[in-house]
Amino acid sequence: MDLADLLARRRMVRSFDGSPIDQDWLDERCAQALRAPTAGNTAGVRMYSVDAQHVSDYLRAATDDEWRASSARSGALARAGAVVLVTTRPQDYLARYGEGDKVASGLAQRSAWPIPYWYTDAAMATMALLLLIEEAGLSATLWGNFRRAETVLEWAGITEEELVASLLIGRDDGRDWPSPSLARAVPSRESRVRRVPN
């Protein structure tokens, strides 16, 4: 399958069949995903894999009792076969851009970055992992870091890093339902590609 087909096929799936994902296989795919671009060769992105037997522990850290009791997706997500936590180390980028070959950029201070590349790098590595998962015939969903990041990091024993997102990974059980967001009218992909100058 070529890359264009993978991109066209990839969807966020939020209902899994409970099959565990081989941890060695997943760790290898995480390492491959970290071949994604990294500003200044900083290598400030990290990935942490969580096996199937600890998915429920992860969800207890990432959500609260009220959400788990009321969300229609809670049980479906709990059947994920693995989770990957994606983190970044902003301090590594600040140190790197303070080095001799980068210091003229003026980016050794966090406030100097109009677009923080530590998030850009994490996003690129995450997309690479999503495509590797799709290539393997598995499914995943991105669990955004909207709340409870510190609780998740503490649960995982991770320090001096920021949680960017988590991927819940598994085998689609065929009972997922499309996100209501897909019904929104949006500009076509083609209309969002422009040539400049006109």
pTM value > 0.75: yes
- Hunting for tokens 């970055």 — which residue is that? 113
Q: Is 69 helix (H, G, I), strand (E, B) or coil?
A: helix
Give the start-to-end residue ranges of the domains of the chain.
Answer: 3-192
d(Cα 62, Cα 18) in Å, to the nearest integer?
A: 19
User: Which pLDDT tens digit goes with each residue over 165-174?
Assistant: 999 999 999 9
Beta bridge partners, 165, equal 86, 144
User: Which pLDDT tens digit goes with each residue over 51-87?
Assistant: 999 999 999 999 999 999 999 899 999 999 999 999 9
d(Cα 168, Cα 13) in Å, to the nearest integer?
A: 9
Mean pLDDT, residues 139-163 taken together: 96
- Average pLDDT value over all residues in the chain: 95
What's the CATH code, domain 3-192?
3.40.109.10
Does 24 have pLDDT greater than 80?
yes
